[in-house]
Amino acid sequence: MRPGNPVFASLGTTVFETMSRLADRHGAVNLGQGFPDDGFPEDLLAVAADATLHGPNQYPSMLGLPDLRRAVAEHDQRFYGIEVDPDTEVLVTSGATEALAACLLGLLSPGDVVVLFEPMYDCYVPMVRAAGAVPRFVTLRPPTWELRREDLAAAFGPRTRAVVLNDPLNPAAKVFSPEELDLLAEFVLASDAHVVCDEVYEHLVYDGRRHVPLWTRDGMADRCLKVGSAGKTFSLTGWKVGYVTATAELLRPVVRAHQFLTFTTPPNLQAAVAVGLRKDDTY
């Protein structure tokens, strides 16, 4: 019997699942998995329950509930001054991981090079390889984990098609500075590349730091796909509701990949997340 797709057959169980099982078995505090556990807004549970009881409970739009797409657009404008059309530039996904998969599968062709920054979330490399693309690594070094021109110059080349930028960066807890983002933008523009911006920790920033999306830097608005996570923002990771914002042209191939991954996301959870994204700043 063949062992299966070599991209996945050579991999073990993700470390997050392994550590969570061990934590449950030993009654230990789980510091291994990336879920916030400081409480969640209970009113969102009530909204989700009401939507479940009163429907509709059939397939919602493949793009996501219109109200949630509007809420995502309002969120991006409110926090970052990013203006997008909720009808053509927002996609709701079954979690941010599915959003990342749809972005990479939709954009990449075999042989394309994707620049990745390490340390990194463990799903990036398998996703890139599953798309037939080639990962090229930039190692960030402690204690500052800063982007360096010479490292970017070594990673970018004529076959560079995309970059995956996790900002804030898991697991290094790094928030990239505007200067670092501008440096990265310089290489992205020179390579005519696109950037999948994994920003699931955008609201988990401390010590007076501020998250600045790469999208807002000069020349980046039509090159970025901004990925967000309701699970990380509201401590509801089990719901698996994510979203992508991008220009209509850039989002189109992502939507086509999404339709053959999960197609859609539970409508009751989408309704609740729309309420959550409109909460005031006290949350």
DSSP string, 99-136: HHHHHHHHH--TT-EEEEEES--TTHHHHHHHTT-EEE
Listed residue (84, 98, 105, 133) closest to 256, CA to CA: 105
Q: Which domains are delineated in the chain?
A: 1-33 (no CATH), 34-277 (3.40.640.10)
Per-residue pLDDT of 153-204, as tens digits, reads: 999 999 999 999 999 999 999 999 999 999 999 999 999 999 999 999 999 9
The DSSP code for 58 is: S
- Does the pTM surpass 0.85? The reply is yes
Structure confidence at residue 9 as a pLDDT band (50, 70, 90)? confident
> What pLDDT is recorded for position 35?
72
Q: Which amino acid, 282?
A: T
Instruction: Give the integer Cα–Cα distance in Å for 85 and 248.
Output: 8
> What pLDDT is recorded for position 266?
98
Structure confidence at residue 126 as a pLDDT band (50, 70, 90)? very high
Peptide bond preceding 266: is omega within 30 degrees of 0, i.e. cis? no
Instruction: Give the integer Cα–Cα distance in Å for 176 and 122.
Output: 20
User: What's the number of CA atoms in the CB half-sphere (13 Å) around residue 266?
Assistant: 13
- Please name the helix (run of DSSP H) or strand (run of DSSP E) that holds residue 259, with its range, or none: none
The pLDDT mean for the chain works out to: 95
C-alpha distances (whole Å) from 242 to each of 12, 193, 266 are 25, 23, 11
Per-residue pLDDT of 209-252, as tens digits, reads: 999 999 999 999 999 999 999 999 999 999 999 999 999 999 99
Per-residue pLDDT of 41-91, as tens digits, reads: 999 999 999 999 998 999 999 999 999 999 999 999 999 999 999 999 999
> What pLDDT is recorded for position 177?
97
